[in-house]
């Protein structure tokens, strides 16, 4: 019993590591997990006391549980069976595809990260770039929304910052989940979006099995009361105009909606307008099919140059924020009331009839979004130069034309945002933004559109063109 035993060093290291791991796993880690779980629960309780719509149980359910529910959902299993018959593949192949799709789609929402880190980061970023303003909000309409409803924000899509902007402005009312395109499936953005409750969508996918899995997840989230935000246009506006709606996600949400029982489904139209959209030139370039697409490396290089250039301007004191970004929240639209008013049941087994009803609703929603889109300073001033691209204006002429345009817009019910309630200041802000970007040239106190920049001016004027389109 007292003899010395010789052991190889590698065996001692492995044994010591196993002993330490056992100690951690059985004694230390449980207490640490308990501590962090208590902290998270405290945050969730604080948040629920503050929010207008409490965090639903579905959103707080572990990701693995939701994935399993999705994989073994009756409709998904039926879709997998049909896929096997159509493709002539074994059940195991279809099940593996379903698992992969479920893991790809289901987010891993973390309330602590969303409301603590996410809130701080988003506010900090937006304050650096813009003067963020809420132009109008239908408080009376919001107050009538049943807290148990499934709420969906419906928003026009101007910039990739729309996700951050809407989440930041609504963070004291709700926590929301976004449908995000495949462009964001890069490290570390993919992981961050999942933690913040976003889920990824393969837009235009022809894979029926994938669409079945996505449809069931969207339905489960909607039935579970998860607050969501969608962009019916399905992509960024390429020319600045409000686009036509896509009905995919809307159809998924409404397909199992019962207006007579369960949660109400409420759509809230949201309109946004920027004095400067970071992606304006790249969006316009995408319309030119003769221009070769840049490689990922080229995009990264240009982005880094943009960041470094702006940091240099900040250090030199020559940097200005990108003007105003204005958001309006319109009147909530209850699907329960909508169904009664138009005698519509979106569960109609006749696919053609259901799709027609969804398309009509999508058009109504887009019109509601269009009415809420604010008129921002740059859009006002850009419209003057677009109407007369070859003309040179004095500042007084610009002011007179903008005042006339404001009157026309207000007659059409447009929500014109006037910073500081000062029309002259509004025009100064818009004109300064355009001259700083060299979209408008100033010479001897006279202003004209810069040669070669008329497309960019059109981009900003198009953002409000729908307000007076009946005159065109």
Place of tokens 């307008």: 273
Among 35-39, 64-68, 72-76, 308-312, where is mean pLDDT lowest? Answer: 35-39
- Output phi, psi for 449, to 5 deg: -65, 135
**What strands lie across the sheet with 440-443, from one edge to the other?**
393-394, 446-449, 440-443
Give pLDDT, residue 429.
Answer: 96
Cα distance between the two ends of the chain:
101
Going by CATH, does the domain composed of 377-471 fall within 1.10.10? yes
Residue 114 DSSP SS3: helix
- The strand pairing partners of 132, in sequence order, are 325
Q: Report how far residue 24's alpha carbon sits from residue 459's, in angstroms, rounded to the nearest whole number.
A: 59
pTM: 0.85
pLDDT higher than threshold 70 for residue 218 = yes
Q: Is the dihedral of CA 431, 436, 440, 445 positive or negative?
A: positive
CATH architecture of 103-278+322-372: 3-Layer(aba) Sandwich (3.40)
CB-CB contact of 157 with 231 (8 Å): yes
pLDDT higher than threshold 60 for residue 442 = yes
Structure tokens at 272: 């946004």
Give residue 3's Cα distance to chain centre.
70
Residues 6+ apart with CB under 8 A from 207: none
Q: Report how far residue 282's alpha carbon sits from residue 337's, in angstroms, rounded to the nearest whole number.
A: 41
Q: Report how far residue 121's alpha carbon sits from residue 307's, in angstroms, rounded to the nearest whole number.
A: 17
Mean pLDDT, rounded, for 124-148: 91
- Output phi, psi for 239, to 5 deg: -115, 5
Domain ranges of the chain: 103-278+322-372, 377-471
pLDDT higher than threshold 90 for residue 361 = yes
Phi-psi category of 179—alpha, beta or left, where left has phi over 0 and alpha has psi -120 to 50?
Answer: beta
CB-CB contact of 230 with 360 (8 Å): no
Among 3-12, 68-77, 159-168, where is mean pLDDT lowest? Answer: 3-12
Residue among 240, 277, 157 at smallest CA distance from 465: 240
CB-CB contact of 453 with 435 (8 Å): no
Q: What is the pLDDT of residues 247-291, one digit of tens each?
A: 999 999 999 898 888 899 999 999 999 999 999 998 998 887 666
Mean pLDDT, rounded, for 130-156: 93
């Amino acid at each position: 019993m007292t003899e010395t035993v010789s052991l190889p060093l590698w065996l001692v290291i492995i044994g010591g590591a196993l002993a330490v791991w056992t100690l951690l796993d059985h004694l230390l880690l449980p207490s640490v997990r308990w501590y962090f779980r208590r902290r998270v629960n405290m945050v969730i309780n604080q948040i629920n006391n503050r929010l207008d719509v409490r965090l639903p149980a579905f959103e707080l359910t572990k990701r693995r549980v939701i994935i399993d529910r999705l994989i073994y959902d009756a409709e998904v299993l039926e879709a997998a069976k049909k896929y096997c018959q159509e493709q002539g593949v074994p059940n195991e192949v279809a099940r593996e595809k379903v698992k992969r799709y479920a893991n790809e789609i289901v987010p891993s929402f973390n309330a602590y990260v969303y409301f603590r880190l996410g809130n701080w980061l988003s506010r900090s970023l937006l304050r650096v770039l813009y003067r963020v303003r809420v132009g109008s909000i239908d408080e009376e309409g919001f107050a009538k929304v049943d807290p148990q409803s499934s709420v969906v924000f419906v928003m026009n899509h101007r910039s990739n910052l729309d996700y951050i902007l809407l989440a930041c402005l609504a963070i004291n009312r709700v926590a929301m989940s976004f449908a995000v395109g495949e462009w964001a499936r890069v490290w570390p953005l993919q992981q961050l979006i999942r933690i913040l409750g976003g889920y990824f969508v393969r837009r235009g996918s022809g894979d029926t099995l994938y669409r079945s899995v996505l449809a069931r997840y969207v339905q489960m989230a909607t039935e579970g009361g998860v607050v969501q935000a969608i962009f019916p246009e399905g992509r960024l506006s390429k020319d600045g105009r409000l686009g036509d709606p896509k009905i995919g996600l809307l159809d998924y949400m409404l397909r199992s909606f019962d207006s007579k029982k369960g949660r109400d489904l409420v759509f809230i139209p949201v309109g946004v307008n920027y004095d400067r959209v970071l992606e304006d030139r790249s969006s316009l370039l995408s319309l030119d099919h003769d221009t070769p697409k840049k490689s990922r490396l080229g995009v990264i290089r240009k982005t880094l140059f943009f960041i470094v250039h702006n940091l240099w301007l900040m250090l030199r004191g020559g940097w200005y924020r990108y003007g105003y970004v204005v958001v309006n929240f319109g009147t909530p639209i209850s699907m329960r009331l909508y169904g009664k008013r138009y005698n519509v049941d979106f569960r109609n087994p006749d696919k053609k009839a259901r799709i027609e009803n969804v398309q009509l609703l999508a058009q109504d929603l887009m019109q509601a979004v269009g009415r809420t889109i604010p008129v921002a300073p740059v859009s006002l001033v850009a419209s003057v130069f677009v109407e007369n691209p070859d003309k040179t204006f004095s500042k007084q002429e610009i002011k007179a034309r903008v005042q006339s345009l404001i009157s026309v817009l207000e007659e059409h019910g447009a929500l014109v945002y006037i910073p500081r309630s000062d029309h002259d200041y509004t025009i100064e802000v818009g004109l300064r933004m355009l001259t700083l970007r060299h979209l408008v040239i100033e010479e001897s106190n006279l202003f004209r559109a810069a040669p070669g920049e008329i497309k960019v001016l059109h981009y900003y004027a198009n953002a409000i063109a729908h307000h007076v389109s009946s005159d065109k």
